[in-house]
Amino acid sequence: MPELPEVETVMRGLAPILENTRIAKARAYAPKLRVDIPKDFDVRLSGNLITRLIRRSKYILIECEDGLVAILHLGMSGRINIYGANSKHPPRAKHDHITLLTENGDLVVFNDARRFGLLVFSTVSGIDQHALIKDIGPEPLGNGFNSAHLAAGLKKRKSPIKNSLLDQKLVAGLGNIYVCEALWRAGIAPTRLANTLTAVEIEALVPIIRTILKEAIAAGGSTLKDYAQVSGELGYFQHRFNAYGREGEPCSADGCRATIQRIVQSNRSTFYCPTCQT
C-alpha cells in the first residue's frame, strides 16, 4: 500500500502505540525480506525504548533510546496490523514476518506477501549517510522541494516526465498513483520529455504535487486492496482518482469528452487523458 501518503498514514497509526514505549519482545520470522533482516534483530530491539517515529520518503524510521534506528519499508505489499492489549492476539498469519510486543501489551505485526519490504538497522548519527537514505531527494511537503529544485533536476533529464517524477533522487515519496494524478491535474502528458517542460508548467506542478499528497494523507491514503491503515480502516483517496486505474472511463475534467488511456512506461502502467494532458 505504499506511497508517501500511505506510509505517512501507517506511521501516524503506529506512533501512539510505539513512541515512548518499551519493546517487551521483538521477533523476526523470516531470514530476509528484500534484504536480510539483521541477525541480532531480536536482541537489539527487545527491551529497547522507542523514542520517536519519523517518515523519510517511503521509509519509517524507528528511533530508539540507545541510538539504534530501525529502517522499515513496506515495499509493494507490506502492511502493519496492530492488535491492542485488550484484544485477543491472533495466531501468526501467513506472511507475518515481524512482530513487536510492547510493554503495554500491544502487538505490532508486519505482514508482507511479496517481501519487497525491508527492515535494517542504522543509528541516529549515521542515518543521513545510510545507503538507503543518503541519495533520496527532498521531501515534497518540505521547503527543499520547490520549482528551482525541480527545474534544475528536470533540465538534465531526457526521459519522460512520468519516469523522472518516479525517481526518488529527484523528489521523495511519489509512486505510480500520485505521479499519474499529479500529471493529470497539471495537464501535462506523461510522455513529455522532462527537459521540455516549461518554467510555467514546473511552477504549477510543485503545488499540485503538494496538494494531492496532502489531500491523500487527509483521506487516510489510498486503499487498492486490503487495509491501508493500521487501525484496519480503509483509506478513501482512491475514490478521488482522476486518472489512475480509470482506463476506458470518461475524463472527469470539465467539458472534456475524452477517455482515460493506459500506456506502459518503463514496464509500469500510466493512466492519462490524451486530450487535456499535452
Binds DNA (CB under 7 A): choice among 98, 100, 177, 212? 177
The 8-class DSSP code of residue 259 comes to: B
Q: Which of 5, 8, 56, 58 is catalytic?
A: 58
Contacting residue, 75, 203, 214, 263, with DNA by CB under 7 A: 75
Contact 153, 226 (CB under 8 A): no
Q: With CB under 7 A as the contact rule, which of the stretches 36-44, 46-54, 164-172, 253-261 interacts with DNA?
A: 164-172
Select from 60, 72, 65 the least CA-distant residue to 47. 65
127, 133 in Cβ contact below 8 A? yes
Q: Is 122 in the site for DNA (CB under 7 A)?
A: no
Nearer Cβ to DNA (43/76): 76
Q: What is the dihedral of CA 52, 55, 59, 60, to 10 degrees?
A: 30
| Direct distance between the N- and C-terminal alpha carbons of the chain, in angstroms, rounded to an integer | 30
Is-catalytic flag, 88? no
Catalytic, 250? Answer no
Task: Report if residue 149 touches DNA, rule: CB under 7 A.
Answer: no
Q: Is 93 in the site for DNA (CB under 7 A)?
A: no
Q: How far is CA 82 from the centre of its chain?
A: 19
Catalytic residue among 2, 5, 160, 190: 2
CB of 25 to DNA, least distance (A): 26
Query: Residue from 86, 125, 143, 267 that binds DNA (CB under 7 A)?
Result: 267
The answer to whether the CB of 52 falls within 8 A of the CB of 125 is no
CA atoms of 244 and 273, how far apart (whole Å): 10
Any bridge partners for residue 101, and if so which?
25, 107
Q: How far apart (Å, rounded) are the C-alpha atoms in residues 225 and 202?
A: 33
Q: Which of 21, 102, 176, 277 binds DNA (CB under 7 A)?
A: 176
Applying CB under 7 A, which residues contact DNA?
1-3, 6, 34, 57-58, 73, 75-77, 94-95, 113-116, 132, 156-160, 163-164, 166, 168-169, 175-177, 194, 221-226, 228, 235, 266-269
Q: Which positions are annotated as active-site residues?
A: 2-3, 58, 268
